[in-house]
Structure 1
Amino acid sequence: MDSASRIQVLYDACDAVFSQMELPNFQQIQWLRKILDSIEAIDVGIDEFSTLQSPSSSPEDSKRLMCGQNVSNITYIHIHQCDNFSIGVFCFPAGGVLPLHDHPRMTVLSKLLYGSVYVKAYDWVKMETNNSRTIGLAGKVMDGIMSAPSEPTVLFPRSGGNIHSFTALSPCAILDVLSPPYSEELGRPSTYYWDTPIPSLPGYAILEERDLPEDLVVKGAPYLGPPIAIAMEIC
């Protein structure tokens, strides 16, 4: 029997960890991080160096790899989603910006597959809702550049930089695992924010909810990596 693909191993681990009744413990999160760290762009159907379509590594598969250097808009590759978690990849062109946004009640593991990206991230210190808009004080968790190869990051509902933005400094791709996934119906929408630094309080800013940015365009692209055998679950 052929060994499982790396993305299959990640799926199986996420299914085991996030389908349990209890919240993941430290050891389980570190296990997932280790698996995530082993994944490369080719494992999710992306040729990070190419600007031209290239044949997939499997001669039996007529699909072609996505060209990592040829992305002109922020592009999301949907790999899997169920009630407990989602797996997907954001591909960025150089200069692409994903504005400041949050991950309500979510644990998020991310792996920068290739390229460089400027990341700014905050956690709430105090927040309130006025006229259906969220505003509050937040502390900066990260304000710097990440370049591949780099270790996977983890953010939690109240720590780790739950509210973050990305600005691609070069073509890049980020593999994301979200648990649970976004859901408007279940009160987990993606909310965007303006940040206003406080000069007298370095490292802190006022965050204010904003409308969905009109200039934000995220296109979808098919997943061209190895197929995933899905466990018997309600998705």
Structure 2
Amino acid sequence: MERSKIQVLYDATHALFSQEGLPTFQQIHNLKKLLDKIEAIDVGIDEWGLCDSPISDASDDSSKELLCGQGFSEITYIHIHECDDFSMGVFCLPAGKVFPLHDHPEMTVLSKLLYGSAYVKAYDWIALDSTGCQTIGLGGKVVDEVMKAPHEPSVLFPRSGGNIHSFTALTPCAILDVLSPPYSEDFGRPSTYYSDIPIPSLNGYAILEEKPMPTDLIVQGAPYLGPSIVTVHDYNNFAQMAFHNYV
């Protein structure tokens, strides 16, 4: 049976981020190419809100309907998978909504704009001071543009590529994220939010200051309706069952 696109992405992501040592740029590039093949329908979303078409390559899930891409009234997160090594999910934003400036501590992040358009602003640290109660420092802007699908996936690293970024939905849009490792309060990888104060005398630079999570930031959850993913855990369980049945 042919694997779905999201299964191929999962398999490659697991192979890359579960290995010993850091991935190479070529390995990241190869994963980026796989991510670029993913479309909204491959993760169970109907961009135009028709909501009456079965998922095209879902095999056993073919009876499921799709989520309406135009129907979200709040920022919505669709959880696809999470393990110790990485997480996969989709943020769906209605027009006008803002996901504020936030960071990805010690993470590699690959993102694909599945549909729509968004204004993206991203910084990397030039200098920072985290010795006090709040982190504050100088950030250099590395992205300041409107992204419109189709757009090649973006890649950010712990200290480059725009690790601190924000999204403003200009139209309804969806962003598929692959994060490695995932956010974790227990392992010192919380999501931190920032305000940015541009420096008039230094074009492209701003003072970034940590702030509490905005009280008006609402992120709802929605079920993942795309093709089922067979995880490594599933493989292991199947092998154990097969072994016990054999003996």
Q: Indicate the TM-score class for this superposition, using the shorter chain for normalisation.
A: over 0.9
Aligned equivalent of 1:223: 224
Q: CA deviation at 1:131?
A: 3.1
Aligned equivalent of 1:143: 144
| Deviation digits for residues 42-91 of structure 1 (CA, Å, limit 9, x no counterpart) | 000000011x5324236864321000011110000000000000000000
**Mean alpha-carbon deviation: is it higher for 129-138 or for 158-167?**
129-138
Aligned equivalent of 2:215: 214
Contact 2:59–2:227 (CA<8 Å) still a contact in 1? Answer: no
Q: Distance in 1 between matches of 2:232 and 2:44?
A: 21
Q: Distance in 2 between matches of 1:89 and 1:145?
A: 19
Q: Distance in 2 between matches of 1:135 and 1:68?
A: 37
Unaligned runs of 5+ in 1: none
Q: With structure 1 as the length reference, what TM-score do the two structures score?
A: 0.96
| Deviation digits for residues 112-161 of structure 1 (CA, Å, limit 9, x no counterpart) | 00000000000000001253200000100011100000100000000000
Report the count of equivalent residues: 232
Q: Find out whether 1:191 has 2:192 as its counterpart.
A: yes
Report the residue type matching 1:209 in the other structure: E
Q: With structure 2 as the length reference, what TM-score do the two structures score?
A: 0.91
**1:83-122 maps to which residues of 2 (within 5 A)?**
83-122=84-123
Q: Distance in 2 between matches of 1:62 and 1:184?
A: 38
Q: CA deviation at 1:27?
A: 1.1
Report the residue type matching 2:221 in the other structure: G
DSSP 3-state at the match of 1:27 = helix
Aligned equivalent of 1:133: 134
Higher helix share: 2
Contact 1:55–1:62 (CA<8 Å) still a contact in 2? Answer: no
Report the residue type matching 1:44 in the other structure: V
Aligned equivalent of 1:4: 3
Contact 1:193–1:207 (CA<8 Å) still a contact in 2? Answer: yes
Q: Find out whether 1:161 has 2:165 as its counterpart.
A: no
Unaligned runs of 5+ in 2: 237-247
Q: Percent identity?
A: 68
Q: Distance in 1 between matches of 2:178 and 2:142?
A: 20
Aligned equivalent of 2:47: 48
Larger Rg: 2
Report the residue type matching 1:43 in the other structure: D
**Mean alpha-carbon deviation: is it higher for 36-45 or for 122-131?**
122-131
Q: Distance in 1 between matches of 2:202 and 2:113?
A: 31
Aligned equivalent of 1:29: 28
Q: Distance in 1 between matches of 2:181 and 2:52?
A: 34
Report the residue type matching 1:53 in the other structure: C
DSSP 3-state at the match of 2:67 = strand
Report the residue type matching 1:26 in the other structure: F
